[in-house]
Amino acid sequence: MTIKIQLRFAITIIVLALVTLGATELYRQRTDTDHFKALMTQAPGVVNYERDVRPVLDRRCVVCHGCYDAPCQLKLSSSQGISRGASKDAVYDASRLTPMEPTRLFVDATSTEAWRRKGFSSVTEGGDKAASVLMGMLHLGRDHPHIAGEPLPKSVELDINRDLSCPTTPAEFADYAHDTPFGGMPYGTAPLTNEEFRVLSSWADSGAPAMDATPEFTIETRKAIVTWEELLNGTSNKAKLSARYLYEHLFLAHLYFSDSTENRFFRLVRSRTPTGEPIVAIGTRHPFDDPGPEPSFYRLRPITSTIVSKTHIVYPLSTAKLERIRSLFFDASWVVSQLPGYAAGTTENPFVTFADIPSRSRYQFLLDDVRYTIMTFIRGPVCRGQVALNVIDDNFFVAFLNPDYDLAVSDPDFLPQAKSLINIPEESTSPLTLLQQWSKYYNSHRAYLSFRENAYFEHDPEGREVTLDAIWPGNAFSPVSFLTVFRHFDSASVVNGFVGELPKKIWVLDYQILERIYYNLVANYDVFGNVTHQLLTRLSMDYARMEAEGLALSFMPMQRRQDVRAGWYAGAGAQLALYLGHSLPERQRPSSINYESKDVARELMALLLERHPRFATRLDDGHPLARLSQDKSGFVKWMPDVSFLKVEGDDRFYSLLRNKAHDNVAFIFGEDLRRNPDEDTLTVVEGIVGNYPNFFFRVSHNDLGRFVDDLGRVNDEKSFQRFVEVYGVRRSSREFWAMSDWFNERFVEQQPVEAGLLDLSRFRNY
């Protein structure tokens, strides 16, 4: 699918973006099904952006134009995105030798004129079919509908890496329409209804006016905003350093007041103006970059964009959380000898910048909302992350080291000695520095591993502390401390608890691994960076993964560790990469845990669940769908990465997650060469897991057993296509948009705070 197709998609999305009412209002409209249905039946007349247009844009356009990889950078999730328009420059370019200029909405430009200077073009100017790119795309889609219920023609490209044309003039659009007749909007799906088309057409003809509603807050919410801003803008050195740490860890969060009944979300930003004045945000490439001359202030800025699931990373603010943060940072007994500056080469290293803050406070802050921290790796600005995500397995469990057993927390001398060895790769502007920077990081990493091993051995040579007690069990502030990660090729999900069948691998993270991954993949990551930055980020994550795996191995019998890891890194090349990158030290602490089986990795997970059964989540063995997670007949390799199943009759819904098997995840390239499709497994989870559904299935409650039997008999592409004919909902189906709406509505019901619009840009053409 060429640029042209993407542009069409982008235009449809622009319309959807106009409908965007704001984070809070969007949340309301997502649940307001009656309003949406009423809109589709009302009499023709003048349309209102907020009342009429935005619901159509959200449900038909933003579902593909809501992230950085939106076609032609056309983000329709806010009025600012609509007025900004489209760009021919692609955010995702793996061959980029120099960083591109960032194009973040609400950050890198604040006016339409400023976006025009950055190369963005309007898609709404002109109004009529001949002049407006938006209307041209809508008419093109209407004039060339797909055959309902049939697979799309092969000429309709759906690969997210397809070339895009992004026409910005009538002449360019004429060429696009000629070359790509099926490139209209909505791209590659069932068409809009007559009423939806009328609403968008009327809106476009009137000049496409759009303005996100100005949020209005209750007295309770306004007081909460002031309280938190007062805390974060204290004048003492301790308050300033604490606030800087909190900002660098919460800058991606969608903050909400969990004590309030208002569904309002906020972003923590740095502003030139104090509390009570309009926010003048300070835009920097990274959260740890110098904000410029003082004064600057931390402010809570309301989110007015439509909430999309991929970037919706929620973090609760409450009275209890306020007191918890006070006790961990502001009221704790520590002093700041001198505030750190913003010198390049050090400011991205939190172990240096925040050395004065007690490591127990820092680690406990992360543990209190540890799923949020892990989600920032998963749901950050990386909307297209296959190269970044092939550093992890498709399914694994995550646990954390108890602070009392972490020398970085319990030994006051550990981090001061180790901090210079724990490096975050610096962002490079030249590929010529890749080997130099990598060599620097490699050497410091190996030095840290040796230091850590010696420190732990000297502290506990007999391994008496290597027990299940050393795994963090959670507390009142972090009731769930076990997590499950699912990778879906170029996206991933993290869910609470150990979900599904026991995978082959578990990670255990201590404070420094968790903090280092955060700064590597979130705070220091630049989606607009060059190829050197992307490679250094990916390669350094290799070592962090190995450390987390190695920490998990330390809980297993010494004599079995090499065999377990050899199973995780099958192949001579992977073993060599492992040895060079993270060889096991000769001197190791034994484990004090008694094992009875040969599969000690899975036994460790089972022992943890036996001790903490509340963290286990899986379908009952008697459930018909449970068989799909246990069936080894090979049908899984024909399934998409993420599919949603609607069970009609009881209105239950499930996520079917394909876990792709690999020999190893030791290399950045050649993933297909290390695949074992016959060993793929399926995890079935009730509810919504995943931001990018690849397909929809539906079956009546009475036929659920037959659905399972028929899927189990799939053994080739033809039999899978027959299965799709019976149970699938294709992109061209008349049911497609109703099914999309249904799952979005159920998502809100299931997870009213965490729900956001699901992204359909990865939906398959079966």
The predicted pLDDT at position 10 comes to 38
What digits encode the pLDDT tens for the residues 682-700? 999 999 999 999 999 999 9
Q: Do the Cβ atoms of 115 and 109 come closer than 8 Å? A: yes
Residue 541: pLDDT band (50, 70, 90) is confident
Q: pLDDT grade, residue 43 (50/70/90)? A: very low
pTM of the model: 0.90
Q: Considering the domain delimited by 619-750, tell me its CATH architecture.
A: 2-Layer Sandwich (3.30)
pLDDT band at 112 (very low <50, low <70, confident <90, very high): very high
- Count of alpha carbons within 13 angstroms of residue 621, beta-carbon side: 0
Judged on CB neighbours under 10 Å (0-12, 13-18, 19+), 572 is: exposed
Q: Which residues pair with 728 in a beta bridge?
A: 697
For the cut 90, the answer to whether the pLDDT of residue 642 exceeds it is yes
Residue 163 confidence (pLDDT): 83
Q: What is the mean pLDDT of residues 505-531?
A: 92
State the pLDDT at residue 31: 35
Q: What percent of the chain has pLDDT over 70?
A: 90
Question: 349-364 pLDDT, tens per residue?
Answer: 999 999 999 999 999 9
* Omega within 30 of 0 (cis) for the link into 186: yes
- Beta carbons of 8 and 143 less than 8 angstroms apart: no
pLDDT score recorded for residue 128: 52
Q: Looking at residues 515-543, what average pLDDT do you find?
A: 87
Please give the average per-residue pLDDT across 381-391, as a whole number. 64
Higher pLDDT among residues 432 and 220, named by residue:
220
CA distance 65 to 187: 11
Number of helices (H), then strands (E), belonging to the chain: the values are: 28, 15
CA distances, 138 to each of 7, 8, 81, 143, 440 (Å): 11, 8, 18, 9, 53
Whether pLDDT at 565 is above 80: yes
Give the pLDDT confidence score for residue 530 in this predicted structure.
84
pLDDT computed for residue 377 by the predictor: 86
Torsion 13-18-24-28 (CA) sign: negative
CB < 8 Å & 24+ apart, contacts of 90-98 = 90/164, 91/527, 91/528, 92/68, 92/161, 92/383, 92/384, 92/527, 94/387, 94/531, 94/534, 95/531, 96/529, 96/530, 96/531, 97/431, 97/530, 97/531, 98/429, 98/530
pLDDT at 215 over 90: no
At 464 the pLDDT is 95
Question: Which one-letter amino acid corresponds to residue 514?
Answer: L
Share of the chain above pLDDT 90, in %: 64
**Cα distance between residue 737 and residue 733, in whole Å:** 8
Mean pLDDT of 211-230: 91
Is 582 or 18 the better-scoring residue by pLDDT? 582
Question: Tell me: the pLDDT tens digits for 260-276?
Answer: 878 899 999 999 999 99
pLDDT band at 579 (very low <50, low <70, confident <90, very high): low
Q: What is the pLDDT of residue 11?
A: 36
CA dihedral 293, 274, 381, 12 (to 10 degrees): -120
Averaged over 307-333, what is the pLDDT? 95
At residue 497, the pLDDT reads 95
Q: Both tokens of residue 476? A: 């009142």
Task: Work out the pLDDT band at 26, boundaries 50, 70, 90.
Answer: very low
Q: Report the pLDDT value the prediction gives residue 8, as an integer from 0 to 100.
A: 37
The predicted pLDDT at position 471 comes to: 97
Distance of CA 435 to the CA centre of its chain: 30
DSSP letter, residue 65: S
CA dist 496 and 470 (Å) reads 20
Domain with CATH 3.30.1050 in the chain: 619-750
pLDDT at res. 582:
67
On the question of pLDDT at 130 being above 80, the answer is no
Q: What is the mean pLDDT of the chain?
A: 87
pLDDT reading at 446 higher than 90 = no
